[in-house]
Amino acid sequence: MTQAEIKLCSLLLQEHFGEIVEKIGVHLIRTGSQPIRVIVHDTRTSLDQVKKALCVLIQHNLVIYQVHRRGMVEYEAQCSRVLRMLRYPRYIYTAKTLYNDTGELIVEELLLNGKMTMSALVKKVADRLTETMEDGKTMDYAEVSCTFVRLADTHFVQRCPLVHATENSDPGPPPPAPTLVINEKDMFLVPKLSLIGKGKRRRSSEDDATGEPKAKRPKHTTDNKEPIPDDGIYWQANLDRFHQHFRDQAIVSAVANRMDQTSSEIVRTMLRMSEVTTPSSAPFTQPLSSNEIFRSLPVGYNISKQVLDQYLTLLADDPLEFVGKSGDSGGGMYIINLHKALGSLATASLESVVQERFGSRCARIFRLVLQKKHLEQKQVEDFAMIPAKEAKDMLYKMLSENFISLQEIPKTPDHAPSRTFYLYTVNILSAARMLLHRCYKSIANLIERRQFETKENKRLLEKSQRVEAIIASMQATGAEAAQLQEIEEMITAPERQQLETLKHNVNKLDASEIQVDETIFLLESYIESTMKRQ
Amino acid sequence: MAEVKVKLQLPDADPVEIENRIIELCHQFPHGITDQVIQNEMPHIEAQQRAVAINRLLSMGQLDLLRSNTGLLYRIKDSQNAGKMKGSDNQEKLVYQIIEDAGNKGIWSRDIRYKSNLPLTEINKILKNLESKKLIKAVKSVAASKKKVYMLYNLQPDRSVTGGAWYSDQDFESEFVEVLNQQCFKFLQTKVELSMEDIETILNTLIYDGKVEMTIIAAKEGTVGSVDGHMKLYRAVNPIIPPTGLVRAPCGLCPVFDDCHEGGEISPSNCIYMTEWLEF
């Protein structure tokens, strides 16, 4: 793990779970898998605290454990999974667009709690939805269950691995840690529960201060003492499926930008049809015949078969090469070239960065070297039509930032510089890795700045919170308008202005983190796809 | 009876007359005449007289001496040039010949030296002379800016020397290129598909700008713009992604990115770029 990644993980863990979890988590990321005694010793925290921290991390799928030889249990942290925490808002938003508020809350609860049983989840979400509804209306469990089942059917949520039910024929002592297994078939199988009930509103007597931790609440609100029917069957969010969805979205919008709406709809249809047939890491989708595509087009699009064929031919001939033709049966078999598409998207990100950082002429040189693969200094000047001095300057600038590299081809065995060809080339994989590293550090910077801004105004924030609490309690006990006014004026106008600015800044920094994460997603997908093919 | 010896004075025994006859013959045969032809024409002239006449004509610059596989040829010299070269000596004529042979690509002074075997000082003197007489000119090559090539005064320098349309006075016309770049792009944006020929290099720069894409289609011979059965088509395109997320944050464009860390001189907490960006 690079320093930048470790720093970012540390910031994320601290923000979401606190100091102790951060210490343990970062230690595990740095040192790899370790048994619990060593963790206790190295981090100088008590065994009790280490246990609790590990519990939290395991619950959130950030740490896995394994039983090694000699009966030792080792814990390993997964840095990449920690970095996914940046993407939580995007997952929740996707669920919202696909399955409305119900879906949004289901995914949100799952991500916040790591793992949950279906019944607990449905209950929680129903309660939350009821809060937002008008007085007298409640959310039915059945509706929430229905949405949950749909999420499971489309693979957005999956079952967590279960404890393997050991046969009694094994008489030895139980292993120090259970081995968790999950059957492929069962991964998305929803247990048959009959959840009957409606969401409950939080009663006003339980309306305490807002800082109550979530873990305490179920103890207050459980009314029924019945055993939960699906005990032991836990669900988690299936991040890979979300990533597949993001990837499809990116490809469709790229086609829409390059061609038109109809062609992007055709590509979207093809991708939807391939969702279940093609594994997410395949370089291209299974061949789809033109007839199948025609049948699966969304209802609103009534284009004729001929027009569809023309569009498919056009897509297949396009220089982008996202769609390829693999045969002629069934009216023409077409595939989507996923690896190529990811490569184009990653390259476009690189080009965009070069353009914004160095200028459009530099971007011209960059694209030129990308297309022609290897070029000499003179050839670059000729093709790009940029005067020699400027071209040299730009090439060296990009070289120093590692967007472009030099390839030496010696003419003589002694590699004399005067008798060697020096060719400029772009190595997309290494440039992508370099940019990815920069993205991680940028997000770390943004988070630090956000925390700094908040810390600067801590006093003011605390004051405003106190005032709000006072107002709320006074409203509950029925105070007059004049008294409320007086309390509100405790915060002066310039302070109010300051609070507004703070809110604006924090929002902007937050939004920027999510935007940089989009770049991270494209680059990581490309790197992963390339590594798998090697 | 007294014997009177009458010497038959032939009408063209006069040296001037001989020369004029030879010149007339040369005009008759503009591709050149051999010694044999002159002899046939004027059989009564002795070889010595002939030689004197021919030498005089050569030195006056009215005749050209050429070698062919059969022997020596004498050719009438172009009257214009004949006037010009009067007063030049043989060395200059040789150098001039070499430069003329180089055509419109011109020839470098070192190459002239090799071909003529004359010493450098002589060459330079001759070149200066010829230049002052406006017979040759020096053209700076665009490939190596210190090199000068010489060619005949009235010739148009070749494209490879001057760089073609994009150079004027050996300076890269970047303004010109930019303007054409913009114009071609605007032109292509309004048309759907078009084939172009001479401005391919400019179009290629638009491709490298990412604004234009090219496809090659098979075309029938004879359609406008087709070369070897292909046709290149260009169309204006949009970029496939909007500016990527990283460049929307100040860190993506920061020049001191590598020096920035928490607790240092440059840190996220006191970053001036961020402050400016937040106030936006």
Q: What is the pLDDT of residue B4?
A: 62
Q: Residue B112 and residue B102: Cα distance in Å, rounded?
A: 10
What are B28-45's pLDDT values in tens digits? 777 777 777 777 777 777
How many beta-carbon pairs below 8 A join chains A and B?
129
- Residue of A364, A367, A445 lying closest to B268 (CB–CB): A445
Would you call A383 and B204 a contact, using CB atoms and an 8 Å cutoff? yes
User: In the CATH hierarchy, which top-level class contains the domain A242-336?
Assistant: mainly alpha
Domain with CATH 1.10.10.10 in chain A: 3-77, 81-165+178-199+231-237, 242-336, 341-426
Q: Is residue B272 part of a domain?
A: no
What are B44-58's pLDDT values in tens digits? 777 787 788 778 877
A317 touches chain B (CB under 8 A): yes
- Selected for mutation to probe chain A from B241, B266, B278 (highest A CB count within 10 Å) is B241
* pLDDT over 90 at B101, yes or no: no
> Which residues of chain B have a CB within 8 Å of the CB of A509?
278
- Residue of B202, B210, B253 lying closest to A351 (CB–CB): B210
Contacts of the segment A297-305: beta carbons below 8 A, 24+ positions apart: A297/A265, A297/A266, A297/A269, A298/A265, A298/A269, A301/A262, A301/A265, A303/A262, A305/A331
For the segment B82-110, the average pLDDT, to the nearest whole number, is 72
Nearest to A254 by CA among A237, A272, A241, A267: A267
- Residue of A257, A319, A518 lying closest to B238 (CB–CB): A257
Q: Residue A217 and residue A200: Cα distance in Å, rounded?
A: 13
Cβ–Cβ < 8 Å for A148, A117: no
Residues near B130 by beta carbon (within 8 Å), at least 6 away in sequence: B92, B95, B96, B99, B136
Helical ranges in A18-87 per DSSP H: 19-31, 36-43, 47-59, 79-83
Q: Is residue B269 part of a domain?
A: no
Judge if B97 and B58 occupy the same domain: no
Q: Is residue B214 part of a domain?
A: yes
CATH assignment of the domain containing B120: 1.10.10.10
Q: What is the pLDDT of residue A213?
A: 41
> Which residues of chain A have a CB within 8 Å of the CB of B259?
none
Q: How is B121-152 classified by DSSP, letter by letter?
A: HHHHHHHHHHHHTTSEEEEE-SSSTT-EEEEE
Instruction: Compute the nearest-CA separation of A49 from chain B (Å).
Output: 28
Q: What is the pLDDT of residue B2?
A: 56
> Which residues of chain B have a CB within 8 Å of the CB of A351?
210
Judge if B155 and B104 occupy the same domain: yes
Would you call B209 and A442 a contact, using CB atoms and an 8 Å cutoff? no
Would you call A349 and B177 a contact, using CB atoms and an 8 Å cutoff? no
Helical ranges in A289-359 per DSSP H: 290-296, 305-317, 338-358
* pLDDT over 70 at B196, yes or no: no
A457 backbone dihedrals φ, ψ, rounded to 5°: -105, 25
> Which residues of chain A have a CB within 8 Å of the CB of B262?
448
Tokens of A456: 């600067």
Query: Helix, strand or coil for residue A180?
Result: strand
- pLDDT under 50: residue ranges of chain A: 167-169, 204-225
Instruction: Compute the nearest-CA separation of A436 from chain B (Å).
Output: 10
Selected from 3.40.1410.10, 1.10.600.10, 1.10.10.10, 2.40.50.140, the CATH number assigned to the domain covering A81-165+178-199+231-237 reads 1.10.10.10
> CATH for A3-77?
1.10.10.10
Would you call B249 and A512 a contact, using CB atoms and an 8 Å cutoff? yes
Instruction: Compute the nearest-CA separation of B247 from chain A (Å).
Output: 6
Would you call A441 and B251 a contact, using CB atoms and an 8 Å cutoff? yes
Residue with tokens 């010829």: B130
Q: What is the pLDDT of residue B96?
A: 82
Q: What is the pLDDT of residue A169?
A: 47
Q: Burial level of A195, CB count in 10 A (0-12/13-18/19+)?
A: middle
Judge if B99 and B56 occupy the same domain: no
> Which residues of chain B have a CB within 8 Å of the CB of A253?
241
Judge if B117 and B185 occupy the same domain: no
Q: What is the pLDDT of residue A163?
A: 72
Indicate the average pLDDT of chain B: 73
* pLDDT over 60 at B87, yes or no: no
Query: Helix, strand or coil for residue A433?
Result: helix
Instruction: Compute the nearest-CA separation of A462 from chain B (Å).
Output: 21
A379 touches chain B (CB under 8 A): no
Count Cα neighbours of B138 within 13 Å in the Cβ-side half-sphere: 14
- From residue A530, give the alpha-carbon distance in Å to each of A281, A283, A499: 10, 9, 47
A369 touches chain B (CB under 8 A): no
Would you call B241 and A254 a contact, using CB atoms and an 8 Å cutoff? yes
Would you call B246 and A349 a contact, using CB atoms and an 8 Å cutoff? yes
- Residue of B240, B245, B260 lying closest to A257 (CB–CB): B240
Q: What is the pLDDT of residue A172?
A: 57
Q: Is residue B142 part of a domain?
A: yes
Would you call A345 and B241 a contact, using CB atoms and an 8 Å cutoff? yes
> Which residues of chain B have a CB within 8 Å of the CB of A504?
278
Q: What is the pLDDT of residue B162?
A: 59
- Residue of B174, B205, B249 lying closest to A387 (CB–CB): B174
Would you call A446 and B268 a contact, using CB atoms and an 8 Å cutoff? yes
Dihedral sign for Cα A398, A400, A403, A404, please: positive
Nearest to B101 by CA among B120, B115, B85: B115
Give me the domain span that covers residue B57. Answer: 15-77
Instruction: Compute the nearest-CA separation of A53 from chain B (Å).
Output: 26
Q: Residue B25 and residue A135: Cα distance in Å, rounded?
A: 125
Q: Residue A262 and residue A180: Cα distance in Å, rounded?
A: 46
- How many domains, chain B? 3
- Residue of A254, A367, A518 lying closest to B240 (CB–CB): A254
A56 touches chain B (CB under 8 A): no
Instruction: Compute the nearest-CA separation of A249 from chain B (Å).
Output: 12
Q: Is residue B2 part of a domain?
A: no
* pLDDT over 70 at B164, yes or no: no
Q: What is the pLDDT of residue B62?
A: 72
Would you call B246 and A452 a contact, using CB atoms and an 8 Å cutoff? no
pLDDT band for B61, please (50, 70, 90 cuts). low
Q: Which residues of A358-374 are buried (b: 16+ CB within 10 A; e: fewer)?
A: beebbbbbbbbbbebee
Q: Is residue B209 part of a domain?
A: yes
Q: Burial level of B8, CB count in 10 A (0-12/13-18/19+)?
A: exposed
Q: Residue B257 and residue A438: Cα distance in Å, rounded?
A: 9
> Which residues of chain A have a CB within 8 Å of the CB of B242?
257
Region of residue A232 (left: phi > 0; alpha: psi -120 to 50; beta: else) = left
- Residue of B238, B248, B269 lying closest to A449 (CB–CB): B269
Share of chain B above pLDDT 70, in %: 71
Tokens of B222: 């004879």
pLDDT band for B85, please (50, 70, 90 cuts). low
Q: Residue B177 and residue A82: Cα distance in Å, rounded?
A: 51
CATH topology for A341-426 is: Arc Repressor Mutant, subunit A (1.10.10)
Query: Helix, strand or coil for residue A289?
Result: strand
> Which residues of chain A have a CB within 8 Å of the CB of B174?
385-387
Would you call B271 and A368 a contact, using CB atoms and an 8 Å cutoff? no
- Selected for mutation to probe chain A from B159, B202, B240, B270 (highest A CB count within 10 Å) is B240
- Selected for mutation to probe chain B from A351, A382, A445 (highest B CB count within 10 Å) is A445
> Nearest residue of A to residue B250 by CA position?
A442
Q: Residue A345 and residue A513: Cα distance in Å, rounded?
A: 20
Structure-model confidence comparison of residues B174 and B237, the more confident one: B237
- The complex's ipTM works out to 0.76
> Which residues of chain B have a CB within 8 Å of the CB of A316?
none
Would you call A357 and B253 a contact, using CB atoms and an 8 Å cutoff? yes
A449 touches chain B (CB under 8 A): yes
CA torsion B31→B36→B41→B42, rounded to 10°?
130
**Which helix (DSSP H) or strand (DSSP E) does residue A117 occupy?**
strand A116-117
Q: Is residue B274 part of a domain?
A: no
Structure-model confidence comparison of residues A269 and B168, the more confident one: A269
Structure-model confidence comparison of residues B169 and A496, the more confident one: A496
Structure-model confidence comparison of residues B83 and A353, the more confident one: A353
Judge if B68 and B22 occupy the same domain: yes
Instruction: Compute the nearest-CA separation of B165 from chain A (Å).
Output: 12
Tokens of A413: 């065995």
